[in-house]
Structure formats: structure tokens, C-alpha cells
């Protein structure tokens, strides 16, 4: 027996699908199980002999409508996944930081050029402090930039809160281990929850360290110890000779956490406690 999108052939008898509409055709197609070992590719003439289509034009038109319908449906399903939104939110957050930093650097350079007494030595000129300095500037553009940077900063805090909230629901275990924003960045780099859940711990450990990884593979430089997970405080705050171990352990636990998040979708208290203990142990803390 051979099953095709327009009907079934059993021996010499062909049973065409009663409909030419994309929706019922698509539903029928979802039920089909195809064994590639015994598959013979179809030819449209079978559909004509079957009485399903009178001409090649009609055959292609119905098939095309069906394929476009199926593709659009699947696209709509993906676009509704909240994880896709989370990915875009965290990418926006990172882009905001990058843009704000560049703008601030440029504005401070300009400010310094007009004020010979300005120096960044012995004090941190960042964030609110930098905006205050700029807002007292005599240069109208810098004043305006300072105001806009304030707005950007508000947007950033709001977005960051939203990310933490959404990640807490979508990635309850990963979020508990590394915080919502870092968990969301991992998700964004992995390209989706199902991908992240299928990654081995070693990949999670170096995800986001692409340059270092490829330079290692190509020319044998030392391998990267950590990628995005470096941003987590327990990794970057660990003693230098412990960082590799901490990131290895953390990545191992994240790989498990991602699987629980994907397949169960709930926080697992017992797992989280033992994972936290293991990570602390790796960092040399009792």
C-alpha cells in the first residue's frame, strides 16, 4: 500500500481523498506514517488516473495550496511560543546595553574635550553619575543625550524585570540556578528550549564563546572554560584556578535543569538544592 497526499493506492485500486481543501488534506497527512524503505516516489499521473486532478495545473495548484497552508500553520504555531518572545526580549536588552554604552562613551569624550579638569581616574563615571555630569553640561546636545539615556535606562530596567519574570515561568530551574537574564541569554544562544534541552553540558559550558572555541578547534589554542555562564556571579567571582571547575559543574547542572524545564516545566526543589550544593562545593565553599 502506498499513501500520498491525495489518496491511497492499495494494489491496483486507488482511493482518492474526498476533499481538495487544504485543511482536511493536511489533517489526513498528519496521520500518515511513511516507511522510507518501501517508499516509491509519486508521479502526478497517478493522481489523474485516480480521478483526483484532471490536469497538471490543477494538481500543482491544490498541492501548493496545501503546502502553503501547512507551512503557515506551523509558522503561526512557532510564533505563538512564549520562548520566541523571550529570545527577542533578551536580544533587545543586550542591544540596548551596547547602544547605551557606545552613546555614553562618545558623549563623555565630547564632554571631556570641553572640560580640561574632567578625568575618570579615582572615580567611577558610569550610569546615573555620568548622566548627572552630562545634564549639567553647557552643550545642548549632551544635555539632551543625558535625558534620553535616562529614558533608555528606565526601559532597560523594565525589560530586565519582564525577562526575569517570563524566564522564571518558562525556565524555572535554569532561572533559579543562574538568574532569569542569564538563563534567557542561554536560551537565545541555543535557539529555543527544545534545542537547549538537547545540548550536552559541554556545549552549554562554552555557548557564547564561539571565537575562542573555533580558534581552539582550528589552531589548538587553549579551549574556552566558559561562555555566557561566565556572567553568572558564582563563575566570575570564583578564584581563578577554580573557575573552570565551577563552570563545568554549573553547566552540568544547567543541562539537567534545561531538560526538567522542557519536559516537566516545573521547579524541582530536591534537584535545585543538590545542584546548588554541588556548585558551591566546586567553588571551594563548604
Partner 1 sequence: MIWEDGILVSRGEGGVYGERVLRGQRVWNPYRSKLAAYYYRGGDVDIDPSLRVLYLGAAHGTTVSHVADYAETVYAVENAYAPMRDLLAVAARRENIIPLFADATRPNTYAPLVEMVQLLFQDVAHPDQAGIARANSVFLGPGGVAILAIKTRSIDVSRSPRDVVDDTCAALAGSPLTVEKELWLEPYHHDHAILVCKKQA
How far is Cα 130 from Cα 126, in angstroms, rounded to an integer?
5
Using rule CB under 8 A, residue 61 touches partner 1: yes
39 part of the interface to partner 1, by CB under 8 A:
yes
**226: alpha, beta or left? (left if phi > 0; alpha if psi -120 to 50):** beta
- Enumerate residues 77-136 that contact partner 1 by CB under 8 A: 78-79
Give every CB contact of residue 136 below 8 A, 6+ residues apart in sequence: none
Q: Grid coordinates in use for 216?
A: 581552539
By CB under 8 A, is residue 63 in contact with partner 1?
Answer: yes
Question: How many residues at the interface with partner 1, by CB under 8 A?
Answer: 30
Rule CB under 8 A: is residue 54 a binding residue for partner 1? no
**Closer residue to partner 1 in complex, CB, 78/165:** 78
Q: Judge contact between 223 and 244, C-beta under 8 A.
A: no
**Using the rule CB under 8 A, is 34 a contact of partner 1?**
yes
Binders of partner 1 among residues 175 to 234 (CB under 8 A) are 214, 217-218
* Secondary structure element (H or E) that encloses residue 208, with its range: none
Backbone φ and ψ for 16, nearest 5 degrees, come out as -75, 150
Q: State the nearest-atom distance from the C-beta of 29 to partner 1, in Å.
A: 6
Residue 231: CB minimum distance to partner 1, A: 26
Among 66, 186, 187, 246, binds partner 1 (CB under 8 A): 66
CA distance 200 to 147: 45
Phi and psi at residue 100, to the nearest 5°: -65, -40
Residues paired with 13 in a beta bridge: 10
Interior/surface letters 10-30, b for 16+ CB within 10 angstroms, e for the rest? eeeebebbeebebeebeebbe
Binding residue (CB under 8 A) for partner 1 from 44, 110, 230, 271: 44
Q: Which is nearer to partner 1, 9 or 163 (CB)?
A: 9
User: In whole angstroms, how close is the CB of 267 to partner 1 at the nearest point?
Assistant: 29
Q: Does 68 bind partner 1 (CB under 8 A)?
A: yes
Closest to partner 1 by CB, 4 vs 107, is 4
Distance, CA of 155 to CA of 159 (rounded, Å): 6
Segment near partner 1 (CB under 8 A); pick from 26-34, 151-159, 201-209, 251-259: 26-34
d(CA 286, CA 277): 9
Query: Looking at beta carbons only, is 66 or 204 nearer to partner 1?
Result: 66
Residues that bind partner 1 (CB under 8 A): 3-5, 29, 32, 34-36, 39, 41-44, 60-61, 63-64, 66-68, 70-72, 74-75, 78-79, 214, 217-218
Amino acid at each position: 500500500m502506498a499513501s500520498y497526499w491525495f489518496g491511497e493506492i492499495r494494489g491496483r485500486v486507488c482511493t482518492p481523498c474526498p476533499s481538495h481543501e487544504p485543511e482536511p488534506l493536511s489533517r489526513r497527512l498528519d496521520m500518515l506514517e511513511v516507511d522510507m524503505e518501501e517508499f516509491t516516489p509519486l508521479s502526478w499521473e497517478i493522481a489523474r488516473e485516480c480521478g483526483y486532478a484532471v490536469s497538471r495545473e490543477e494538481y500543482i495548484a491544490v498541492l501548493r495550496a496545501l503546502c502553503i497552508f501547512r507551512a503557515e500553520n506551523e509558522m503561526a504555531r512557532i510564533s505563538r511560543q512564549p520562548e520566541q518572545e523571550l529570545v527577542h526580549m533578551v536580544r533587545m536588552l543586550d542591544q540596548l546595553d551596547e547602544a547605551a554604552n557606545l552613546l555614553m562613551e562618545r558623549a563623555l569624550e565630547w564632554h571631556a574635550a570641553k572640560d580640561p579638569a574632567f578625568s575618570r581616574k579615582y572615580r567611577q563615571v558610569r550610569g546615573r553619575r555620568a548622566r548627572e555630569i552630562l545634564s549639567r553640561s553647557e552643550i545642548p546636545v549632551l544635555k539632551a543625550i543625558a535625558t534620553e539615556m535616562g529614558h533608555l535606562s528606565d526601559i532597560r530596567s523594565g525589560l530586565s524585570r519582564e525577562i526575569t519574570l517570563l524566564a522564571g515561568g518558562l525556565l524555572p530551574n535554569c532561572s533559579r540556578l543562574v538568574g532569569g537574564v542569564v538563563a534567557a541569554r542561554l536560551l537565545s544562544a541555543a535557539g529555543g528550549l527544545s534545542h537547549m534541552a538537547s545540548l550536552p553540558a559541554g556545549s552549554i559550558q562554552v555557548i557564547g564563546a564561539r571565537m575562542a572555541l573555533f580558534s581552539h578547534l582550528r589552531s589548538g589554542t587553549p579551549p574556552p572554560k566558559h561562555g555566557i555562564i561566565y556572567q553568572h556571579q558564582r563563575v566570575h567571582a570564583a578564584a581563578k584556578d577554580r573557575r573552570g571547575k565551577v563552570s563545568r559543574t554549573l553547566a552540568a547542572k544547567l543541562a539537567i535543569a534545561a531538560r526538567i524545564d522542557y519536559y516537566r516545566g516545573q521547579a524541582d526543589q530536591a534537584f535545585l538544592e543538590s545542584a546548588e550544593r554541588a556548585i558551591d562545593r566546586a567553588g571551594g565553599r563548604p
